[in-house]
Amino acid sequence: MRSWMVLLVTVFLVTGLHFAFAFAAMPVVGMSAPEFTLPSQDGSQVSLKDFRGKWVVLYFYPKDGTQGCTIEAHNFQRDQPQYSQRNAVVVGVSVDSTDSHREFCSKEGLNLKLLADTEHKVVKQYYSTMNYKGVEIAARNTFIIDPQGTIQRAYTSVDPNKHSVEVLAALDELRKNSDIPLQK
């Protein structure tokens, strides 16, 4: 009987620790956004800390040049003046290379910061991965990070057609319900 109890406790502890680890991996509203540094399409290194004092819309997307990703990028690009008015920057992350990002931006006339996470570290930090036909890619998730580096909103599996408008509305709501300034 004692061996059954030991086995049960061992299974519980192992399973419980595994569950806690998996749960802790997903950044949630109110926690500090995980720091990172990644190369952008222009080859420069971009860090989350570079944007302290600004709101950051950190969006993860699956693949350069695909239909949904192109729509989402164009919508964020279209709304850039509105993000600037709200003291916000938009930064995209995928597991594509800087060369892929550069070609995508050139072909589509984009000037957003697109970051290359070819080692899949940041997509994993933000629990933003998915498997597509046996290949790990970024999931379409977005995090709104306040000027102090705290996550204020988290979106999973977003609709690229309406997401930029949704994020702008969230930034306005955050201004109304927070002491954190939206504009400088």
The beta-strand segments (E) located in the chain are 37-39, 45-47, 55-60, 88-94, 113-116, 129-132, 135-138, 142-145, 151-155
The answer to whether 69 is a known catalytic residue is: yes
Q: Please, where are the H alpha helices in 109-183?
A: 121-125, 163-176
Q: DSSP character for 4?
A: H
Pairing of strands 113-116, 88-94: parallel
Measured CA to CA, the distance from residue 126 to residue 139 in angstroms comes to 10
Closest CA to 138 of 110, 161, 162, 114: 114
Check 33, 56, 69, 73 and give the catalytic one.
69
Residue 27 CA: distances (Å) to CA of 36, 135, 141: 14, 23, 11
Measured CA to CA, the distance from residue 130 to residue 136 in angstroms comes to 6
Annotated active-site positions, please? 69
